[in-house]
Amino acid sequence: MNTVKRIYQDLKGDKIIWMIFIILGMYSMMSVYSATGSMAFKVRGGNTEYYLIQQFVFVSIGAFLAFMCYKWNYINYSRLAPFLMVISIPLLIYTIGFGTEINSARRWITIPWIDKTIQTSDFAKLALIIYVARSLATKQEYIKDFQSAFLPIILPVIVVCGLIAPADLSTAGLLFITCLLMMFIGRVSLKYVGLLLLMGMVLASILILLGAAFPEFVRLETWVNRIHEFWYNPGDTYQVNQSKIAIAEGGLTGVGPGHSLQKNYLPSPYADFIYAVICEEYGLLFGGFPILALYLWLLFRCMTIVTRSPKAFGAILAMGLCLNIVIQAFANIAVSVQLVPVTGLTLPLVSMGGTSILFTCIAFGIILSVSKFVDEARQQKLELIEIEEDHASHH
């Protein structure tokens, strides 16, 4: 108990964000263990602990990476931003041409010596958000100028989102919206934000034309089918129907951990539809509402960081990373209750995954790094005020 108390006292930054991070990790362990039961019998011969151990390893490595990112001064990420962009764009191009195809989508590249895949868009998301935050912060004095401020921001956004979109439109759209909001927070003129939105629509039109000509690279048919099902046949969508049954079965208090029946019928119950499994097993009171509250709480805490941050880069970076996590979470939950078409987006830090877990943890670590240095700057300011007041009282 004393050890836990000492660790708590030694941790700097926003303690509530630390708590949100830990609780989401706990939900991840419990829900993935339950949701992968059927897959364990089919793929692993009944070894139900395999996916639990795998998830524990990813969450543990992710927690270590989050701690290392938290310890590092967040200003260093600004210096890294151009190099991260230089790495991410060739990686995305390589993925389009030579990536590993899974479920008719080419989003991964395989690391041969460990026979594991990584999703390059997760790295690109982080790189672009850091780069946009850096660009907005360093150009605050002339942010209204088109050539000096807008072009260096808009081109990377269009290029990165355009390279992600052919195989993963949902992730590209999420990243595009995040960058739009970051530009709004960064005081970019609304006419330029609107122009970026227009260019996004042009990019979408080009992708549709490319999808018709090169269906093996652009998943146009999948996009059309999902939108068509959502608008015209909402009752015929198998995944969403099973998801709604799971949420209804869970009710307020749930059927109990490990007792979900719909996980046997839901496609990807451990990834895209893990929220439905959580609702079925823990109910709305102990699963559905707390998950929503945690992501909302994260958003409010990051808004507090923005208002207290003495540097624009820290404020925009923390908010950009937070928005990307929270919007993705809400998009995942919205799919489960049929508010939006099926997207394929996972529930951040909760769904089973490798690179998605690791890069979400890194994002949390960077947010906590910003929070730590904001608190230290505030503490130094208070100490200076006290010294000045003491000095004045002696005179």
Domain coordinates in residue numbering, the chain: 15-71+236-311+322-354, 75-232
Instruction: Write down the pLDDT at residue 235.
Output: 62
**In whole angstroms, what is the distance from residue 352 CA to residue 159 CA?**
29
CA angle 172, 173, 174 (to 5 degrees): 90
Instruction: Write down the pLDDT at residue 154.
Output: 84
**In whole angstroms, what is the distance from residue 141 CA to residue 143 CA?**
6
Instruction: Write down the pLDDT at residue 3.
Output: 58
Pairing of strands 116-119, 100-102: unpaired
Instruction: Write down the pLDDT at residue 178.
Output: 94
| Terminal alpha carbon distance of the chain | 48
Instruction: Write down the pLDDT at residue 143.
Output: 61
Q: Are 24 and 247 in contact (CB under 8 A)?
A: no
SS3 192: helix
Q: For residue 333, what is the enclosing H or E element?
A: helix 312-336
DSSP string, 302-332: HHHHHHH-SSHHHHHHHHHHHHHHHHHHHHH
* pTM (whole model) above 0.95: no
Both tokens assigned to 144? 């209204």
Q: What is the CA radius of gyration of the chain?
A: 22
Instruction: Write down the pLDDT at residue 204.
Output: 85
DSSP string, 31-91: HHHHHTHHHHHHHSTT-THHHHHHHHHHHHHHHHHHHHHHHS-THHHHHHHHHHHHHHHHH
Instruction: Write down the pLDDT at residue 344.
Output: 79
Tell me which residues of the chain have a pLDDT lower than 50: none
Q: For residue 119, what is the enclosing H or E element?
A: strand 116-119
Residue 357: partners with Cβ closer than 8 Å, 6 or more residues away: 28, 55, 58, 59, 62, 349
Instruction: Write down the pLDDT at residue 328.
Output: 95
Instruction: Write down the pLDDT at residue 33.
Output: 87
